A and B are shown apart, each in its own frame.
Chain A
């Protein structure tokens, strides 16, 4: 169980271009961080580096559990949700099939997927093919795995961008509950999150 995320002296580059150097971050259980910065500053790359999808030039990302440092590979595979710009949904499959796969793959069950649908108001959409869903509906479908598969660290890239005001508030509620139960949230945003979050700027 991840209780602290530490990023020490991180330098990231895309090709020859250095995005940022010497970045430090400390995120503890029950805390949310809103990551801000101009387009191209490296918000997405930072999230991907923490998720282990891109390799940093220098620096370290460590996950600390209640009993000391965790093995990074294991922590990422079992206790981390990463939701990027792309929702990872197959357009020719139904919302139910895709949701069940994403939930089971990340450690949830059919019952928890059902509960998440109720929570995020997705039941009406389940029989539709993903291609027929709007951008906001797709995002809610992807976000459902946050609720259905309990993992402590959430890395979210512009999670609320396509959502309407009502659903933003709903997700805000979900995030608040996650924090209360000891979760950690790191979200790259341009608009403010609907919850109390510490702001961290990147690539000023």
Chain B
């Protein structure tokens, strides 16, 4: 277990520095949120209507940003060989990487999500659910994105390939997450959506590492 702790600490440090780390994702998220009023028009009523949904969509896209280097760097410099020969199986190493990705990118984005939604005109009372949904969804985005990152190892233009692989898989969390927030906004039952979102994310947390490890082994051989 000490090995895995060491790996998580290293991944946190790396993820912090990887392509600008969380700062880049946060800046990207803010930029997208700023463009929305320019594209959709500035009338508060119209913006408020789409605020929760578009804040959620921008979150999903921002989560993609730093995924490209998740496995790529270790693959290029040979560190993936070392990870494959450690005390923990490659599945556990993949889990540690995605967990660190969630902590350094998913969590800061989740904290920013209600700020963005509120700035676009969503009512303040939606903020707690927005954070909760963004945290749960972010977990799914990290582990699901990790599968895309591992599958695209060794290909040129890996970043675009990840987006193509992963964005369709982002559909359920986008539906459940935005749905839950919309439901709360209109006074309907929001718990079901949140539960489905959490279930989706946990399913990826449980199954994703196996897919990632298999994809990494395939890339190494």
A106's nearest neighbour on chain B, judged by CB, is B86
Enumerate chain A residues within 8 angstroms of B7, measured Cβ to Cβ. Answer: 101, 105
Contact of B78 among A55, A78, A87 (CB under 8 A): A87
Q: What per-residue 1/0 map shows which CB atoms of B74-89 lie under 8 Å from chain A?
A: 1001111111111111
Contact of B82 among A48, A54, A92, A105 (CB under 8 A): A105
- Residue pair A77, B82 in contact (C-beta under 8 Å): no
Contact of B77 among A90, A100, A104 (CB under 8 A): A90
Q: Does B160 contact A (CB under 8 A)?
A: no
Give the distance to chain A from B2, nearest Cβ to Cβ, in Å: 7
- Residue pair A92, B17 in contact (C-beta under 8 Å): yes
Interface residues on A, range: 20 to 34
Contact of A89 among B6, B77, B83, B84 (CB under 8 A): B77
A85 to B78, CA, bound (A): 8
With A97-B13, A105-B7 in contact, is A77–B89 under 8 Å at CB? yes
* Residue among A53, A81, A92, A93 with most chain B CB within 10 A: A53
With A54-B220, A105-B7, A107-B3 in contact, is A88–B78 under 8 Å at CB? yes
Q: Does A84 contact B (CB under 8 A)?
A: yes
Q: Does A76 contact B (CB under 8 A)?
A: yes
Enumerate chain B residues within 8 angstroms of A97, measured Cβ to Cβ. Answer: 10, 13
B4's nearest neighbour on chain A, judged by CB, is A105
Q: Does B14 contact A (CB under 8 A)?
A: yes
Q: Does A51 contact B (CB under 8 A)?
A: yes
Q: Does B186 contact A (CB under 8 A)?
A: no
A100 to B2, CA, bound (A): 13
With A88-B77, A88-B81, A107-B3 in contact, is A77–B220 under 8 Å at CB? no
The 8 closest A-B pairs by CB, nearest first: A86-B78, A88-B79, A88-B78, A54-B221, A104-B6, A101-B10, A88-B82, A105-B86
What are 10 A-B residue pairs whose CB atoms fall within 8 Å in the complex? A48-B221, A51-B85, A52-B85, A77-B89, A86-B77, A88-B77, A89-B77, A101-B10, A105-B87, A106-B82
